Amino acid sequence: MDYSKYYKNKGICFVLSGPSGVGKDTVLEYLKSSFSLNKVVTATTRPPREGEIDGVAYDFMTKEDFQQRIKEDYFVEYASYADNFYGTPRKNVEKLINEGKNALLKIEVQGAVNVKKIMPETVLIFLAPPSMEFLEERLRGRGTDSEEDIEKRLKTAKTELEHIKYYDYLIVNEESEKTAEIVKGILTAKTLEINN
């Protein structure tokens, strides 16, 4: 039997957000091994970090270019974060979805809320730390950030947590592998939705 006509036959667009240090990348690594997803390359005006390749990590652009593109309606959403602009190129998302591929957006909270307004089918998943102490330990443990940066990130985390109410799913990330399984469950359910 061919049941394909019952399904939406489109890729899922989903957003994964959560404070810096909560473990999004580790969860995604686990998820990638068993679920097909494509991270959407987004644009930013911040300079590349060491090892970041243009067009892979981000589309790096100047503030002038970014502003021009805002006028041209190039972005599905954009937000200002830590004195820089970040935005999701509309074409990068649409291409994946129309090809039936799953599109992952790893973006911050303001952007997530705006994507949902424009693309209501988007699944918004928030990863939260078990406690602020846990987050602080994680950030210190990485050893990559200055004290000032850690303080800044912890303060930002508190604002981010206030946006949980706009999300579809909240997962407290105790163990990355288990969290990846939960995300997989949510996405699997989404792929089985009937087109009615």
111 binds ligand 5GP (CB under 6 A): yes
Instruction: Choose one: 1-9, 62-70, 107-115, 170-178; the region binding ligand 5GP (CB under 6 A).
Output: 107-115
32 binds ligand 5GP (CB under 6 A): no
Q: How far apart are CA 196 and CA 191, in angstroms?
A: 14
Q: How far apart are CA 128 and CA 170, in angstroms?
A: 7
104 binds ligand 5GP (CB under 6 A): no
Q: How far apart are CA 89 and CA 101, in angstroms?
A: 16
- Please state the closest distance from residue 72 (CB atom) to ligand 5GP, in A: 16
Q: How far apart are CA 134 and CA 49, in angstroms?
A: 26
**Residue closer to ligand 5GP, measured from CB, 26 or 189:** 26
- Taking the C-alpha atoms of 84, 134, 57 and 120 in order, what is their torsion angle to the nearest 10 degrees? -80
Within positions 54 to 83, which residues make up the interface with ligand 5GP, using CB under 6 A? 77, 79, 81
Strand partners, 39: 104
Q: How far apart are CA 96 and CA 104, in angstroms?
A: 10
**Residue closer to ligand 5GP, measured from CB, 24 or 102:** 24
Within positions 83 to 102, which residues make up the interface with ligand 5GP, using CB under 6 A? 86-88
Chain positions contacting ligand 5GP, by CB under 6 A: 42, 46, 77, 79, 81, 86-88, 106-108, 110-111
